[in-house]
Amino acid sequence: MQVVHEVQRAQADLRARADSFGHEAERYDRSRPAYPAALIDDIVGPDPLRLSVLDVECGTGIASRLLAERGAQVIGVDRNAAMAHIGERHGVTVDIAAFEEWEPAGCMFDRVTSPQGWHWLDPVVSTAKTAPVLHPGGRLCIFWSVGHHPAGLADALSDAYHRVLPKGGPILVIGYAANRERDILPDPGVVTDAVQACNRLAGLRMRTFTWSRRYTRDQWLDQLMSHSVHITLDPEMREQLTDEVGGAIDRAGVRSP
């Protein structure tokens, strides 16, 4: 019974973190980085006009808009109404639903994309659900942004997190909160295993697109608070962390990437 309870607690925590984005939807939309042109070009291919795309866990439509600018016809799916409404405000058609329960109503697509969101889904259920809605030759494109800081700043930021967060507390360095260039990227094994196990999907390919975006100190602090692990911190701890991270950037005398 203890194992069951631990799984239930983990699922409840994941759900709470996913739901937390609704409280910071505007911040998410203004502060999160977009995606490099090379990635979008790779997704749509040489003939993007009228390409049909289902953007899963589309959030506020940051990737959806880039795909639509290429000429693709995009429909988004997201469980978070606050995020979806911002996407709609930007002209993205969004179905508000959990993808695992979403009904395609006979629609099929040339691409199914998921920017920054596949980890919120059941990878086995969602991968199996993707295959039947893809046209022959269609592609599932799952992608994340994983960044790092200049040498020295990453060490200072890591020290700031360790000063504030209790031992055994949430790990906030995954992604790019305090990442160094040498840090190992998150293991995508759960995702790749689910794709390889689906006999209707084939030809798994992984690519990395290198690019950069610079933030001012205040812009960096703003975007940090669009991440679920920061949003769900105790308010007093979150304020202390903001002060420590801001001070570390000030002392380093550089801008975050």
Percent above pLDDT 70 for the chain: 87
pLDDT at 13: 57
CATH 3.40.50.150 fits 2-252, yes or no: yes
Mean of pLDDT values over 98-118? 95
Beta bridge partners of 74: 53
The pTM (predicted TM-score) of the whole model is 0.88
CB 92 within 8 A of CB 71: no
Q: What is the pLDDT of residues 194-241, one digit of tens each?
A: 877 787 787 788 899 999 888 999 999 999 999 988 888 899 999 999
**Distance in angstroms (rounded) separating the CA atoms of residues 230 and 133:** 35
CB 256 within 8 A of CB 220: yes
119 Cβ contact list (under 8 Å, min separation 6): 144, 191
